[in-house]
């Protein structure tokens, strides 16, 4: 009898810091696709943010662990933090496939804004071959996602799946700006993340 495959969702990001938008999206995809696990992977040196100031990976990792700890399905991986050089998703997926083996199916989870940048990604055709992409889109963003699906033709139709998720107008950029200007981030990030940001003095300037 064929063994049922384990399904793992992969959520890549800078997570600077991780916030409720990431968590709600990951949980919505997990629930909808019956995933056994969601793996959050903080990038070490994000290819799209090479020249921008990114908080040291260790802080982003600790915040990610604290934010996901209470969800029994959520885990954080250090795979990109441990690999030198830019973190290309396709390399991460290949490494994870080798690590997990054939009995595991991977799904790459992205928000609508990231999906729109897909055409610029390194080796994106290979990435689409390797694992399907779940594009979490708010109701208003569907047409942008449809445009990207069309851009990739039949591969896009088969490998990019749209999932309607709640409207959460939250970004790490906004959170960093709120902290810098002394505004509250309560309920936008988990309490543990808020405490950590304040204790470590992150995003003050």
- CA distance linking residue 157 with residue 7, whole number of Å: 21
The smaller minimum CB distance to ligand ATP, of residues 14 and 44, is found at 14
- CA distance linking residue 97 with residue 5, whole number of Å: 13
Q: Does 177 bind ligand ATP (CB under 6 A)?
A: no
Q: What's the order of all strands across the beta sheet hosting 133-137?
A: 74-76, 37-42, 6-13, 104-111, 133-137, 160-164
DSSP symbol at 34: T
The smaller minimum CB distance to ligand ATP, of residues 171 and 192, is found at 171
- CA distance linking residue 195 with residue 186, whole number of Å: 10
In the complex, the smallest distance separating the C-beta of residue 184 from ligand ATP, rounded to whole angstroms, is 17
**Torsion 108-112-113-118 (CA) sign:** positive
The contact pattern for ligand ATP, residues 121-150, with x = CB under 6 A and - = no contact, is ---------------x--------------
In the complex, the smallest distance separating the C-beta of residue 13 from ligand ATP, rounded to whole angstroms, is 3
Question: What token pair was written down for 88?
Answer: 């290309």
Of 56, 69, 71, 113, the one binding ligand ATP by CB under 6 A: 113
The residue count of the chain comes to 205
Of 110, 128, 149, 197, the one binding ligand ATP by CB under 6 A: 110
In the complex, the smallest distance separating the C-beta of residue 41 from ligand ATP, rounded to whole angstroms, is 10
Residue where the block lists tokens 């083996």: 101
165, 142 in Cβ contact below 8 A?
no
Of 45, 123, 171, 192, the one binding ligand ATP by CB under 6 A: 171
Of 14, 44, 55, 92, the one binding ligand ATP by CB under 6 A: 14
In the complex, the smallest distance separating the C-beta of residue 171 from ligand ATP, rounded to whole angstroms, is 4
Residues that bind ligand ATP (CB under 6 A): 13-16, 21-22, 25, 110-111, 113-114, 136, 168, 170-173
């Amino acid at each position: 009898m064929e063994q049922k495959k384990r399904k793992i969702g992969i959520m890549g990001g800078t997570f600077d810091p991780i916030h409720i938008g990431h968590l709600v999206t990951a949980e919505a995809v997990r629930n909808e696709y019956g995933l056994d696990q969601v793996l959050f992977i903080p990038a070490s040196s994000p290819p799209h943010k090479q020249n921008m100031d990114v908080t040291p990976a260790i802080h982003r990792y600790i915040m990610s662990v604290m934010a996901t700890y209470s969800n029994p399905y959520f885990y954080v991986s250090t795979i990109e933090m441990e690999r030198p050089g830019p973190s290309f998703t396709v390399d991460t997926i290949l490494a994870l496939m080798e690590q997990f083996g054939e009995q595991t199916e991977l799904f790459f989870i992205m928000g609508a804004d990231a999906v729109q940048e897909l055409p610029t990604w390194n080796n994106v055709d290979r990435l689409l071959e390797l694992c399907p992409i779940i594009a979490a889109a708010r109701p208003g963003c569907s047409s942008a996602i449809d445009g990207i699906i069309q851009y990739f033709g039949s591969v896009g139709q088969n490998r990019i799946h749209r999932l309607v998720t709640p409207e959460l107008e939250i970004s790490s950029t906004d959170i960093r700006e709120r902290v810098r200007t002394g505004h509250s981030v309560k309920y936008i990030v988990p309490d543990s993340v808020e405490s950590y940001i304040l204790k470590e003095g992150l995003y003050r300037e």
